[in-house]
Amino acid sequence: MSDLYSSFSLKKSYHSLFHRPNSGHPVLDGFRAIGMLWVILTHTVASAALLMTVYLKPEVSFLGQQVDHTPWYFDWIWNGHLMVDMFFVLSGFLIAGLLLRDIDKHDGIQLKRFYYRRFMRLMPTYLLVIALFYMMNMPHRENLWQNLLYINNFFPHGETAAPWTWSLAIEEQFYLIFPLFALFVLRTTQRPILWLSGLLVFACIIRLYIVWTDEILHGNQMSVSMIDKGILNHGLTVIYDNLYTRYGAFICGIGAQYIYHYQREKMTDFFLSTLPGKASIFFSLVISITLLEFNPLKSDIVLPEWAIVSFIGLYRNIFSLCIALLILAMLVNSRHVSWLTRFLSLRIWYPFAQLTYCAYLIHIPIIIVTLSILNKVYVTYDLTFYYGDYKLLIITFAVASTLTYFVSAIIYFSLERPMMTFRDLRSNAAVNPEPATIELDKRATT
């Protein structure tokens, strides 16, 4: 009980939110913070068009018009979905790091401790948010049991509650499977990187096969999903929400961590002293920027069938591989990305990174509430809320993101951080028990 009481220390929670520890990788904070802000921006722009469709009930969804009317210099906004792949890369990198250190220290993985720590990290906040969703009478709230079991991504996307939480289900499934995979690969093979490379190739084959055999996916331009809700939900269900179509990003993160953990000197020499290493940094930057700027959702982007299959089948894993390579280059302080490393390592990103999990959970309802209030204000003053006005959308984004992080901070101080502190206290007590406990255990086993 004393551990639980001491965990709810506002001073400790405040310190953990604003004081970045010396350990860890500061550059990852920038990835997480910017990635979450990007997701909020994408969902703000898309939600504005979707809400206007609900209010005005036109024959064709405004979402397609929203995409088409986006200036070319704002096309990157619509690729916020790639930030989720980036989050998967980071998850693979960080979780693999925890497990590899566990293997080095204990010659194995303490599975019970690992799963307990993951549960205490994710579930308390998720339970609170699910309860709030239920009380707010969110659509399909009768299906929230799927979220509780982290299996909501196995069901049709359009019939799930809080549909944006599909990525949390994939993360939890990854946490469940990967420790067992790590034990198998690291104990039975001398070439883990070869295994990981094979799995990444297989991830691409799976996606290519699904797109090639699904007439809806390769039989229509990608822009059609912006005007046809049925096609959009079909694509989300078939290839967007599934672990077997998205695990490639985790593999990239795992491979990056394995190389960083066991082959750091070779990796440093590769990036700093060899032409292929320098070229890999250059092409990773160019490919990442190109994929983030390219917007195939516009109706004037017309691709041949083979290009649609190739693009949908490969681009997510290619992007994830580029991000993994850039992370490795930054961690060895390559001068070719030093400017990006310094930017992503700025201390300002740290608190935003700490609030990412809660912000992802609650940002959609806050965006919808913000848009609804603004629309009512405009109606009151006889003004027109135009979903394509990007100045208005940027203001909406600023308000929604501020509210999102404000509410996230409240949840962080009141629940998320205390539960993590309690978890750490109990985990440390289990790993380093008091002598009296050890003697009691010995007597009990004799």
Residue 261 in contact with residue 347, Cβ under 8 Å? no
pLDDT, tens digit, 9 for 90 and up, residues 63-115 = 898 999 899 999 999 999 999 999 999 999 999 999 888 888 887 788 888 89
pLDDT at 432 over 60: no
Check residue 107 and give its pLDDT: 78
Assign 50 a pLDDT band (cuts: 50, 70, 90): confident
Most confident stretch, 47-61, 291-305, 380-394: 291-305
Q: What is the mean pLDDT of residues 178-183?
A: 82
Number of domains in the chain: 1
The proportion of the chain whose per-residue pLDDT surpasses 70, expressed as a percent, equals 92
Q: What is the mean pLDDT of residues 279-304?
A: 96
Check residue 113 and give its pLDDT: 87
Concatenating the DSSP letter of every residue in 237-267 gives IIIIS-HHHHHHHHHHHHHHHHHHHH-HHHH
Check residue 435 and give its pLDDT: 39
pLDDT, tens digit, 9 for 90 and up, residues 115-139 = 998 998 999 999 999 999 999 888 8
Check residue 429 and give its pLDDT: 58
Check residue 4 and give its pLDDT: 64
Give dist(CA 10, CA 433) in Å, integer. 27
Q: What is the mean pLDDT of residues 269-276?
A: 93
Give dist(CA 190, CA 193) in Å, integer. 9
Check residue 441 and give its pLDDT: 34
Exposure of 172 by Cβ count < 10 A (0-12 exposed, 13-18 middle, 19+ buried)? buried
pLDDT at 444 over 70: no
The proportion of the chain whose per-residue pLDDT surpasses 90, expressed as a percent, equals 64
- Domain of 265? 2-445
pLDDT at 341 over 50: yes
Is the overall model pTM greater than 0.85, yes or no? yes
Assign 440 a pLDDT band (cuts: 50, 70, 90): very low
Radius of gyration of the chain (CA): 23
